[in-house]
Amino acid sequence: MPVQLDSYLQGSWTVGEGDPVTLINPSTDAAVATIRPITRSLAEDVAWAREVGGTSLRAMSFAERGAMLQAMAKAMHEAREALIEVAIANGGNTRGDAKFDIDGATAVLSHYAYLAKDLGEKSWLIEGEAAEIFRGSKIRAEHILVPRRGLTIHINAFNFPAWGMIGKAAVALLAGVPVLSKPATSTAHLAHAIVALLVERKLLPEGAFSLLMGSAGDLLDHVGPQDVVAFTGSQGVGNKIKTHPAVIAQGARVNLETDSLNAAIIGPDVEAGTELFDLAVRDLAVEITQKAGQKCTATRRALVPEALVEALCESLFDRLDRTKIGEPSDKANRMGPLTSKAQHADALAGIEQLSADAEIIRGNPARRDGFEGVPAGSGCFLEPIVLQAKPGAATNPAAAFHNHEVFGPVLTLLPYDGELDTAAAIVAMGKGSLVSTVYTDDRTWLRRAVTEIGPHLGRIVIANEKSAGASMSPGCVFPVANHGGPGRAGGGEELGGLNGLGLYMQRVAVQGGASQLARLLGK
């Protein structure tokens, strides 16, 4: 019998009035849960969370809020096995994929709890040094960050129900700003299970966290000037949020994390059989299969020097052939299904679009059988698909692979001439991405790559023969590093250690006498 997942608003579990929406198990098509969306006005819920949650959190020091994050991490870790089961059942995650999501969430909590220790009892953060307002003046200006007096509304994508929700919440809560989180409906069971755990253990002060299940209803109509809306999802919905009349009228702060056509750029010096070549192949295989390619940071375009294409295909296909796809609860299987029928249909339509400018060179999008432990035709399985750009298409900015993100196990190889200028132009055709990786031992080439490719990215991963053994695949987001990217990727910035707190705090220039400022700021 599917469980009903209620919203947590004004400190209580609340049943919605809307028609029930069914969440499925994408391996078996069985119903696992239902959600009744809230259709009444959310005005009171928003106002209550802003007022009550803000008061609770601002009464706590950074150190106390950090201790709260640590307790949340501990609770999630203790409930890890149960949470993994939910991720398998509703997300189609393999155990590895489920751990990636859940452990990613606890890692962000622990990281921000650790940073909080150094922030101690202060009520603000000081940025940089005091500056004379003009040369010789006794008057100084210093910049501080104080918690905004609003609510932060987090609207999340379906692919990381744990990491997406908790990764955002950890930073906002440490900053002292209450959270109202709206998970994507199709995979919301895991987000609900985490919030139920935190509520049951009484780890959150009153009003600090609210959960809205199902569609957003009239949520955005109630944003205020101190509120922050942080969205992760598709570019189309992100644009609707950014241009929502209330968001514009109130001047609410908006952060968007949207689509991305991440690239792997293999330098012209990389030779088959080297450790660096093997690393590039491993990374491509991980990025295409982990979470069945449903990662915003997954590599979508691989720039391969023309002379290396054949060797790379041989090694990559060999790895993909050895990746078992099937029922995700079976530990032997390394790749599960896409998370919903809608997602599966979108991916197939996307492959069709890419096929205008690229040939499928590995995989069959129509395959519906032969997945381990899965009856033929059942579930939302798609085997890894590799395409190769048609001659001349790699450098055509209108080519579909530069314009359309297929959110699944799909990669397009773009043979190129090995010139840095060509590589930079191709990366730029993605119109802004979260992350790209450069594989090279040529230091001059790398230096130019960072300046030429960097402006199109939020993060650049560099790998050479020496660091290959320790290198992490680029889709792994660490809380110390910036997450976000320009253009198509939304223009947002999240995480990045203490920088991440800036999203939820107001920068105030405090101007006054040098000694008065020093006393006030405790310097």
Per CB under 6 A, the list member of 14, 70, 232, 437 interacting with ligand NAP is 232
Site of tokens 């001059």: 444
Helices 163-175, 62-78: crossing angle, 10 deg rounding: 160
> Does residue 296 touch ligand NAP according to CB under 6 A?
yes
| Residues numbered 456-485 forming contacts with ligand NAP, rule: CB under 6 A | none
# residues near ligand NAP by CB under 6 A: 26
**Residue 265 amino acid letter:** I
Q: Is the dihedral of CA 113, 119, 121, 122 positive or negative?
A: negative
Nearer to ligand NAP, 185 or 333 (CB): 185
Per CB under 6 A, the list member of 97, 227, 283, 405 interacting with ligand NAP is 405
Q: List phi, psi (to 5°) of 211.
A: -130, 125
Least Å distance, CB 234 to ligand NAP, is: 3
Stretch that binds ligand NAP, among 64-72, 110-118, 140-148, 180-188 (CB under 6 A): 180-188
Least Å distance, CB 522 to ligand NAP, is: 36
Q: Is the dihedral of CA 337, 284, 100, 480 positive or negative?
A: negative
Are the C-beta atoms of 427 and 438 separated by less than 8 Å?
A: no
Site of tokens 């609207």: 155
| Residues numbered 248-277 forming contacts with ligand NAP, rule: CB under 6 A | 257-260
Measure the CA–CA gap between 338 and 345, rounded to whole angstroms.
10
Least Å distance, CB 257 to ligand NAP, is: 3
Catalytic residue at 257? yes
Helix/strand/coil for 300: strand
Are the C-beta atoms of 12 and 38 separated by less than 8 Å?
A: no
Torsion of CA 106, 110, 115, 121, to 10 degrees: 110
Measure the CA–CA gap between 394 and 406, rounded to whole angstroms.
17
> Does residue 184 touch ligand NAP according to CB under 6 A?
yes
Active-site annotation holder among 142, 287, 296, 405? 296
> Does residue 412 touch ligand NAP according to CB under 6 A?
no
> Does residue 42 touch ligand NAP according to CB under 6 A?
no
Per CB under 6 A, the list member of 125, 198, 463, 489 interacting with ligand NAP is 489
Are the C-beta atoms of 187 and 216 separated by less than 8 Å?
A: no
Measure the CA–CA gap between 517 and 523, rounded to whole angstroms.
8
Nearer to ligand NAP, 67 or 454 (CB): 454
Which residue number places its CB atom closest to ligand NAP?
Answer: 233
Least Å distance, CB 228 to ligand NAP, is: 15
Nearer to ligand NAP, 117 or 240 (CB): 240
> Does residue 100 touch ligand NAP according to CB under 6 A?
no
Among residues 440, 397, 395, 430, the alpha carbon closest in space to that of 414 is found at: 395
Per CB under 6 A, the list member of 111, 182, 189, 402 interacting with ligand NAP is 182
x-marked contacts with ligand NAP along 136-155 as a string, rule CB under 6 A: -------------------x
Q: List phi, psi (to 5°) of 425.
A: -65, -40
Are the C-beta atoms of 237 and 217 separated by less than 8 Å?
A: no
> Does residue 72 touch ligand NAP according to CB under 6 A?
no
Per CB under 6 A, the list member of 40, 117, 138, 240 interacting with ligand NAP is 240
Counted residue by residue, the chain has a size of: 523
> Does residue 237 touch ligand NAP according to CB under 6 A?
yes
Measure the CA–CA gap between 197 and 520, rounded to whole angstroms.
41
Per CB under 6 A, the list member of 10, 39, 215, 378 interacting with ligand NAP is 215
- Sort strands 433-439 and 262-266 into parallel, antiparallel or unpaired: parallel
> Does residue 407 touch ligand NAP according to CB under 6 A?
yes
Stretch that binds ligand NAP, among 51-59, 73-81, 102-110, 233-241 (CB under 6 A): 233-241
CA-based R_g, the chain, Å: 24
**Residues at the contact surface with ligand NAP, assessed by CB under 6 A:** 155-159, 182, 184-185, 215-216, 232-234, 237, 240-241, 257-260, 296, 405, 407, 434, 489-490
Query: Active-site residues: which are they?
Result: 257, 296
